[in-house]
């Protein structure tokens, strides 16, 4: 099916993540083997006065565990963002150029057994239009890539 309108390259991070979203994805190991699959639910609210996006995400993994994230993302300038989340060391720093948003951070990622591992994240979000986005993340441990995460988001009906 061909879309009736061409994709927009001017979707902003705060616009896309405002409202309810759903998605799915998978994590691949260092050598390409599948580590897990997941679905996700997200809901965000943008406050233009404080230039702050509150974003709640829940990842449901196929092994039965889940990861809940509560983000506070501040738009510090036209293209620059800073993000805070309870399991992040310091803050996430990001920049948006047209339909691509990139940011980096280190986060304690919970495992099924209750343990956590601090991983580095190098995230890239590709906005297709105001309803669809693809995310790719490189996950590192002690500076070595150990996995890649691929997720697909869409606006919830």
CATH of the domain at 108: 2.40.128.20
Is residue 92 within 8 Å of residue 57, measured between CB atoms?
no
> Mean pLDDT throughout 7-14?
76
Q: Which domain holds residue 58?
A: 13-155
Look at residue 6 and tell me if it is in a domain.
Answer: no
Q: Note whether residue 5 is domain-resident.
A: no
Element (H, E) at 126: strand 116-129
Spatial distance between the Cα atoms of 138 and 113, rounded to a whole number of angstroms:
23
Query: 2: pLDDT confidence band, cut at 50, 70 and 90?
Result: very low
- Report how far residue 109's alpha carbon sits from residue 61's, in angstroms, rounded to the nearest whole number: 13
Give the pLDDT band of residue 9 (cuts 50, 70, 90). low
Residue 126 lies in a domain: yes
Mean pLDDT of 23-49: 96
Query: Is residue 2 domain-resident?
Result: no
């Amino acid at each position: 099916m061909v879309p009736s309108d061409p994709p927009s390259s001017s979707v902003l991070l705060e616009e896309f993540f405002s409202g309810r979203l759903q998605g799915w994805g998978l994590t691949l190991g260092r050598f390409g083997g599948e580590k897990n699959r997941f679905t996700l639910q997200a809901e965000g609210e943008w406050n233009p006065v404080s230039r702050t996006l509150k974003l709640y995400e829940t990842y449901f993994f196929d092994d039965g565990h889940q990861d809940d994230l509560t983000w506070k993302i501040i738009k510090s300038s036209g293209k620059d963002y800073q993000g805070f989340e309870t399991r992040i060391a310091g803050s996430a720093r990001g920049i948006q150029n047209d339909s691509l948003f990139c940011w980096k951070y280190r986060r304690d990622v919970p495992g099924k057994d209750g343990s956590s591992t601090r991983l580095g994240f190098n995230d890239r979000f590709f906005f297709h239009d105001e309803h669809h986005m693809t995310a790719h993340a490189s996950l590192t441990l002690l500076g070595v890539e150990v996995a890649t995460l691929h997720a697909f988001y869409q606006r919830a009906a």
